[in-house]
Structure 1
Amino acid sequence: MSVWLPSAPCTPGTCVEPTGAAAAVPRAVLRLMAVVVLVFAGTVLSPFGGRIPADLVRRWCRAVVRAAGVRARITGTAAPDGGLLLVANHISWLDIPLLAAVRPARMLAKTEIRQWPVAGALAARGGVLFIERDRLRALPDAVARIAEALRGGAAVAAFPEGSTWCGRAQGDFHRAVFQAALDAGAAVQPVRIRYRLDGGAATTAAAFVGEDTLLASLWRVVSARGLVGEVEVLPAIPADAHPDRRSLAAAARRRCGHPGAAHP
């Protein structure tokens, strides 16, 4: 199996819990429509991403999260300017706008998305970095393209677990993407993402795992009441703090609360 194709044992049936009190159906429908409109508008404008002020991108990301009925709570240090590799644990599709609310970045995405009608071309023009996850031979070229973007001063966002987990269980940080940061001399910004209910209890309601469909996950989120997305921006790891990608990946995982050994 390719390093870009790890799998998680989490499934909707075993990991995703009921949300408790649910929003009324009309309110959930309105939330869903608002999310679709905002995402469509963002997709259409994505080719102009480089010319859109970063603060406006952050506001749009927060608006998407808020439209879904989720409160974003961002804490911690400010992400530095210049070339930066943002890495975070991966639970939900909500992670993407939450991470972009920290600092707008070029996302890593599987190459299959490039073949999607309309959306694939717009994503490519918007600066998405595509990864051929099922071809190990493509890995050096992917690392080189990520390093080039970092050298150019861009922020690149990645989920090194390579798959979504429910939030209770978490995966290892695969270390290939960290080689790009070392090659470019770029700092690594670890980010920890968690989902809670208004009362403070952790929840897996936002998880998008296993055979879950995007529509099912969307409806579960917009139907929930009191869902909070917590984003903790942890201290950045300087480019020269670790000699190799194994130790760099392990350090980033420790800061994100991921004990264990790094994968190749």
Structure 2
Amino acid sequence: MERPAATVGTARRVLRAAGCAGVLLAGIGVGPVVRALPRRVRERLVTAWARTLLATLGVRVRALGSSVAVPGGLLVANHISWLDIAVIAAVCPGRNLAKTEVGRWPVLGPLVARSGTLFIDRDRLRSLPGTVARIAADLRRGERVVVFPEGSTWCGRAGGRFRPALFQAAIDAGAPVQPVAVRYRSAGAPTTVPAFVGEDGLAFSLWRVLSLRGLVAEAVVLPPIPTDPPTGDDRLARRAPARRALARRTLARAAQAAVDRERDGARHCSVPARPPSVVPERRPARMI
């Protein structure tokens, strides 16, 4: 079982919350302007903004791995928390794909919408081909697109399976797939406190992160996986759906294997049943 995490005082939590709100509001205001800037300038500004946001939350970011994020690649990462989006942006920013519910979140929703995020309705499978086509178009233009192919957040060492559907965008665009492993540590050990799972509400999860002392987010950028360039023969592609499905599954499995090798989450998922302010530090967290 994960040991209870050290927490900060109430005054520090309130200051962190105020700083976070200020940075988010600033992002909402300048988001459309930043999107119109050249890619390299835009990426530098997004990286600086994301690192500032995480700093206000008390989160330190570490970029690991010997690889550099390639432009025009499909970046795929494991999904633990709503923090993942900012962590990825702080290391290798790109255009995000998010579920439609994120666009309805208070404050954060307008921000991700103004930043050019693509939204996908997981309850409408008919919209999936259009989403894949839009991602492929962005990749062809040299944009980096960030997706979380597990489809949901996970907690502990057991992550979800990388769903292969979105990998079709990389195949269609002839773009590389770049795996990134996201993990969180506190006091030098893996922690599941930032995990956003189960019946967690966003406000409760945010308060838990604001309360944590010494949280470190690590993003391990792994070598890109090349894809074969498209043949350009659409009729042949339609005649070989099994071949396309096999290519998607192969890419998804290779990316997941790379991420799993770097995954060092706690053996079990432990998140507090109540905000840390009312949970004594020595009391074990409730198992989920």
Task: Calculate the TM-score normalised by the size of structure 1.
Answer: 0.84
Corresponding residue of 2:181: 192
Q: Between the two proteins, what is the percent identity of the paired residues?
A: 55
Matched residue of 1:207: which SS?
A: coil
Confirm whether residue 156 of structure 1 aligns to residue 145 of structure 2: yes
Aligned pairs for 1:178-189 (under 5 A) are 178-189=167-178
1:41 aligned to 23, 26, 31, which one?
26
Confirm whether residue 80 of structure 1 aligns to residue 70 of structure 2: yes
Does the Cα contact within 8 Å between 1:172 and 1:258 map onto a contact in 2? no
Confirm whether residue 177 of structure 1 aligns to residue 162 of structure 2: no
Q: Deviations over 1:191-247 (max 9, x none)?
A: 00111112x211101111111011111111111111111111011111239971100
Does the Cα contact within 8 Å between 1:193 and 1:230 map onto a contact in 2? yes
Aligned pairs for 1:86-235 (under 5 A) are 86-114=75-103, 123-198=112-187, 200-235=188-223
CA distance in 1, matches of 2:56, 2:250: 39
Matched residue of 2:190: which SS?
A: coil
Per the TM alignment, residue 19 of structure 1 is displaced from its structure 2 partner at its CA by 4.3
Greater shift after overlay, 183-192 or 235-244?
235-244
Instruction: Report the aligned-residue RMSD.
Output: 2.4
Q: Deviations over 1:99-132 (max 9, x none)?
A: 1112221111223455678876664443111112
Matched residue of 2:134: which SS?
A: helix
**Greater C-alpha Rg:** 2
Runs of 5+ unmatched residues, structure 2: 230-243, 263-288
Aligned length: 242
Corresponding residue of 2:284: none
Q: Summarize the Cα distance change of 1:19–1:222 in structure 2 as closer, same or farther, 3 Å threshold.
A: farther
CA distance in 2, matches of 1:137, 1:203: 38
Amino acid at match of 1:32: A
Per the TM alignment, residue 98 of structure 1 is displaced from its structure 2 partner at its CA by 0.6
Does the Cα contact within 8 Å between 1:185 and 1:239 map onto a contact in 2? yes
Task: Calculate the TM-score normalised by the size of structure 2.
Answer: 0.78
